[in-house]
Amino acid sequence: MRSPRAPRPHRPVRRRAARGAGAGWRAVPLALGLLLSFAGGAAQAADLSISCGALGQELRLCQDAVDAWSRKTGHRVQVVSTPNSATERLALYQQILAARSSDIDIMQIDVVWPGTLAPHLVDLSQYIGPGTTATHFKSLIDNDTVDGALVAMPWFTDAGVLFYRKDLLEKYNEPVPKTWTELTRIARRIQNAERAAGHARMQGFVFQAKGYEGLTCNALEWIDSFGGGTLVDDHGAITVDNPRAAAALDLAASWIGDIAPEGVLNYDEEQSRGVFQSSNAVFMRNWPYAWALANAEDSPIRGQVGVTALPAGGTDGHPSGVLGGWQLAVSKYSAHPALAADLVRHLTAASEQKRRAVIGAYNPTIPALYRDPEVLDAVPFFGQLYTSFEHAVARPSRITGSKYNRVSAAFYNTVHDILARRQPAEPQLRALAQRRLQRLSRDGQW
């Protein structure tokens, strides 16, 4: 965190100058505006701060890219570390933004946040033209456009995928599962056989079932793959109380203590990766970032990991994956919005996204990169899962707007109860839909 006491000479003066100039730029063409900003910035290097990633490889990748931009432009950029948990990061951003603080110029924001944070974010379309945005997935640009303003640029996308142990499936001569029922059978068989062979800690399947946003993602994937909808439909109607959703959750509840350890009820992404990567699980649901780490030099399961789309629910279901991913946004209270936008352009450009894909297996938001031979060489499953990423299922954050966090909390609490106490899903879902969500939605108005 940047210390608020760090001496920053002449800052108020510069800020005023930058604001005054910013208002004028809107009238002049984009290119000229940027030229002016560089002419202005060249006299004195500016300080920017960016929040991107929290730890490990994610932070390092961002630091490298930011350093490259710094060398090119001569401006100093400080990488601010923020909490790893998304919920806590959002809370921090909201406190900073509500106080109109300029402490963080560029924020890495989750795919479900543009609606919540939009009033505090700069419209990037002043700085980044339609020629650039057209190269990104249209669904993401739409997601980041609030009331006609481009409040964030897509940086990397995500969809829930299934990781499996190739060596174990081969050893037991089992196929890659296509349905959840098949996954349940294979996981149980391999887990029990491996335990009998002396590997006492072996688990069949690990995922994220702690009471937090990650459980909302996991549970929506189960429900959607059974054809049970996505909690709230595009028109605001609450759809979660249906037999397919109940069937999906009943199946998931049967996993606890059978193919999944009971501890999964307190696992987030990293805890499940800890179990999978220490060679203690056959299957894992996670985001694609786990690929690079599972295949790192020091990983015990290096080279033995496969990735595929999440299984379908039943014979008439379909594979599903929840849309995740992160965007870069510029704070309205930034002293240097034009410079910040330029750094955002640099970080979201095809060359940088390619570097992140090759080194860190971060999914590009630019479709063309999914056909790039170097990218496919580093992360072979990108090509095969392209449609999963393109058609990932969005959480109902746009329709529920600022109430999304409450909707999500009501949902993951209900699912957690169903899993933890092995209660039948149907009455729980009815109570969720008719009591909690109905009250939150004010009868579908949101």
Q: Is residue 424 near other proteins by the rule CB under 8 A? A: no
Q: 């860190």: which residue's tokens? A: 360
Q: Smallest distance from the beta carbon of 98 to other proteins, in angstroms?
A: 6
Q: Smallest distance from the beta carbon of 118 to other proteins, in angstroms?
A: 10
| DSSP tag of 175 | P
User: How many residues contact other proteins, by CB under 8 A?
Assistant: 34
Q: What angle do CA 140, 146, 151 make, to 5 degrees?
A: 70
Q: Is residue 199 near other proteins by the rule CB under 8 A? A: no
When binding is defined by CB under 8 A, the residue of 64, 142, 170, 262 that contacts other proteins is 262
Residues in Cβ contact with 349 at an 8 Å cutoff, skipping those fewer than 6 apart: none
When binding is defined by CB under 8 A, the residue of 19, 76, 138, 421 that contacts other proteins is 421
Q: Is residue 132 near other proteins by the rule CB under 8 A? A: no
The DSSP bridge pattern shows strands 76-80 and 47-51 to be: parallel
Q: Is residue 383 near other proteins by the rule CB under 8 A? A: no
Q: Please identify, using beta-carbon distances, which residue of 113 and 381 lies nearer to other proteins.
A: 113
Q: Please identify, using beta-carbon distances, which residue of 267 and 326 lies nearer to other proteins.
A: 267
Q: Smallest distance from the beta carbon of 176 to other proteins, in angstroms?
A: 24
**Half-sphere exposure at residue 389, Cβ-oriented, CA atoms within 13 angstroms:** 25
Stretch that binds other proteins, among 142-150, 184-192, 257-265, 315-323 (CB under 8 A): 257-265
Q: Smallest distance from the beta carbon of 81 to other proteins, in angstroms?
A: 16
Question: How many angstroms separate the CA atoms of 275 and 253, rounded?
Answer: 20
Beta bridge partners of 312: 179
The string of DSSP letters for 44-113 reads SPPEEEEE---SHHHHHHHHHHHHHHHHHH--EEEEE---SSHHHHHHHHHHHHHTT--S-SEEEEETT-
Q: Smallest distance from the beta carbon of 402 to other proteins, in angstroms?
A: 7
Q: Smallest distance from the beta carbon of 23 to other proteins, in angstroms?
A: 23
Question: How many angstroms separate the CA atoms of 351 and 347, rounded?
Answer: 9
Stretch that binds other proteins, among 142-150, 319-327, 342-350, 411-419 (CB under 8 A): 411-419
Question: How many angstroms separate the CA atoms of 180 and 201, rounded?
Answer: 22
Using CB atoms within 10 Å of the CB of residue 188, give its burial: 0 to 12 exposed, 13 to 18 middle, 19+ buried.
middle
Q: Please identify, using beta-carbon distances, which residue of 119 and 380 lies nearer to other proteins.
A: 119
Using CB atoms within 10 Å of the CB of residue 435, give its burial: 0 to 12 exposed, 13 to 18 middle, 19+ buried.
exposed
Q: What is the dihedral of CA 87, 92, 95, 100, to 10 degrees?
A: -130
Chain positions 57 to 116 lying near other proteins, rule: CB under 8 A, are: 87, 90-91, 94-95, 98, 116
Q: 């009971």: which residue's tokens? A: 262
When binding is defined by CB under 8 A, the residue of 44, 387, 402, 434 that contacts other proteins is 402
Binding mask 264-293 for other proteins (x = CB under 8 A): xxxx---x--xx--x-x-------------
Residues that bind other proteins in the complex, under the rule CB under 8 A? 87, 90-91, 94-95, 98, 116, 119, 201, 203, 210-212, 261-267, 271, 274-275, 278, 280, 402, 405-406, 409, 413, 416-417, 420-421
